[in-house]
Structure 1
């Protein structure tokens, strides 16, 4: 069997981000790296959005917004995002950027096959595809196994699930410089449901009908709600240019407990998704940088001392997210109330900084204090006996 230093099982966002950081580091040129995935990453299968003030991946940002709308059935607020901008990156642009970069390095290889199994055997690991097997020193796994979470009850699992249409309309109804971050004016139907709108011109936009809930819907229901929302905007004629569909797990389950000395779970498989919002891009960027720095520190000598069981962090933001998920798991219809309390009059810059996990404790309180206090106090007492 062919041997590699590192094998990545799956080539999702976090795997590609980690390899990209390895390349930028320049300290892994002597490491043989294999990336395995049944998906060749040749199509634009998704978009990622994030708020940013540091020109992150600026060369492939396809659209920026300086303002964002938050709304429910009672109020509509335009948020000034300065110093942030809300940014969108198309999946295919990111794939092409990373694969172009890694193609310049002969030590990195991509294999378009399906991984069926991997395991650790003493000081090395084995990865099996449908066609062949390989050995390696370390595995970076981003293949999400839902059973890890669904077979336990200690940590709730909420899905962020959505269907999106990118449309071109006859009427000019959109404001190109203003995204709709969350519009809870849509009927909640006992869940946390909102519309998310990313305009690229006065008559073009991506509209996504999104839920934070335990159960998915028939595709027809998402699309019926999108059609209703389009009609309410005053659009009479439009063309659907592209469609997308997704399901992002939102959970505070401690995935790191499944890491071993030589196998680490990354991406959704490692809990890298921001549990309270489902945002992945910025979190993957931060986690991948931290992981590569961890690797650099442990391979600084001729002896590789990397132990993946030591790479994890449980901080105050993990606990904040856990309390919110506890509430949404038992009372899913309260999502609109909670998010509206934050955004109605709160400082939008501090809120986005808080959601990026970059606030001080005093700044945390500015956000938390606006939330329904009784709900979170009850969740706190309930969780104190279940950690």
Structure 2
């Protein structure tokens, strides 16, 4: 310590790596550091909350037998996609759809913290100053951290406003039934039989843990949020559409989430030694809100880099061409050129399910993407492509405007399997961003 006038200040804590935010992205990273045998790194976590228990659910697809398998609540080789005219069962082989609740992830992160000797500061990070050699972080409790690298997963607005900005927002009920009512063999990935909003897309989904216990959720892709009563009414309607008798059901838990769907750019590397992860680092897929798989890849890439003595900088979450296709798809949906149920129905009808899921994860080849694009309605997609190109030209000719702040609902409400607020949220395939 030293004296400056009448104020006593502590010397900064020197670390090699500081994690700002302690939600899903940071928890996955801590577990990955332990998994990849990272040693002899001084690490600090700066977050005002100690995350524990079941505060969110992630759902995602991937290959079986990876390091997440011991943590899963359930997984399915088959999923169902339903429209008002038909119900289709899809075989995902060689992939599977899986559910991961937050409790085991937080437990794995806590074990990794102890193994790695992490210093935890239970306070918000208030300022971050990068001089190109070290980063000074000042925390809300008056302490300072001087770090070689900062990995920041706190919610952040995009670098500029998007040409199209929607939200993925949802509410889910964990339902316990008096008798067997759920099909444990398969999940409902997207059920478009729910009433569609005037502007946007809505669907339900069902993730069964057993024949008596499942997460039943209502999701919208649209510009505006619903009221609490609106979500509950929509969920009750979807429950009734499934033929579930409410007198034989109990709501054990409720999950809510809000995730940004926008073609606005998120700055993944705001300064030389600060790297953003999760939604702030571009992990949320603009056209769907899916987040978890990209967030997991970021954690794995950072851990591998640190284990090899390289800078902890992950690859871009999605290829540039995918971000362009997302912008076009969002524009087509927003301007009414294509309907959401029809758009997704055609994708799954005219492509192998495994190809569609890899496309949503940004893992397809250009040849596969041409096949996927040709399965959509070409005229409205061409119109959306032309409109997007014209909008990009206008953006270059006028001064850049600052992006609006992220709505409080996005920063604080995401909780599970969809997108993260990093957002961390619940939903079909993100599954969820904060932290």
TM-score, L = length of structure 1: 0.90
Q: Which residue of 2 aligns with 1:182?
A: 190
Match of residue 40, structure 2, among 30, 34, 39 = 30
Match of residue 90, structure 1, among 88, 101, 104 = 101
1:9 pairs with 2:20: yes
**CA distance 1:273–1:14, shift in 2 (3 Å):** same
> Once the two structures are superposed, what CA deviation does each residue of 1:53-85 show, in whole Å capped at 9, x if it has no partner?
242311111101121111111221111112111
Q: Which residue of 2 aligns with 1:235?
A: 244
Q: Which residue of 2 aligns with 1:249?
A: 260
Report if aligned partners of 1:259, 1:309 keep a CA contact under 8 Å in 2.
no
Report if aligned partners of 1:261, 1:308 keep a CA contact under 8 Å in 2.
no
Matches of 1:358 and 1:178, distance apart in 2: 24
Matches of 1:5 and 1:311, distance apart in 2: 23
TM-score, L = length of structure 2: 0.80
Structure 1 stretches of 4+ with a deviation exceeding 6 A read 309-313
Name which of structure 1's ranges 213-222 and 335-344 shifts more when overlaid on structure 2. Answer: 335-344
Matches of 1:204 and 1:29, distance apart in 2: 41
For residue 158 of structure 1, report the CA deviation from its aligned partner.
2.0
Q: Which residue of 1 aligns with 2:215?
A: 206
Q: Alignment partner of 2:258: what SS?
A: strand
Matches of 2:315 and 2:101, distance apart in 1: 34
1:379 pairs with 2:379: no
Superposed counterparts of 1:1-387, under 5 Å = 1-26=12-37, 28-56=38-66, 57-106=68-117, 108-132=118-142, 133-146=144-157, 148=158, 152-190=160-198, 191-236=200-245, 237=247, 238-256=249-267, 259-295=270-306, 299=309, 306=311, 314-331=319-336, 334-385=339-390, 386=392
Report how many aligned residue pairs link the two structures: 376
Name which of structure 1's ranges 221-230 and 350-359 shifts more when overlaid on structure 2. Answer: 350-359
Report if aligned partners of 2:275, 2:281 keep a CA contact under 8 Å in 1.
yes
Aligned alpha-carbon RMSD (Å):
2.3
Matches of 1:312 and 1:181, distance apart in 2: 23
Q: Which runs of 5+ in 1 are unaligned?
A: 301-305
For residue 353 of structure 1, report the CA deviation from its aligned partner.
2.1
Q: Which has the higher contact order (CA 8 A, sep 6+)?
A: 2
Matches of 2:175 and 2:325, distance apart in 1: 36
Report if aligned partners of 1:169, 1:235 keep a CA contact under 8 Å in 2.
no
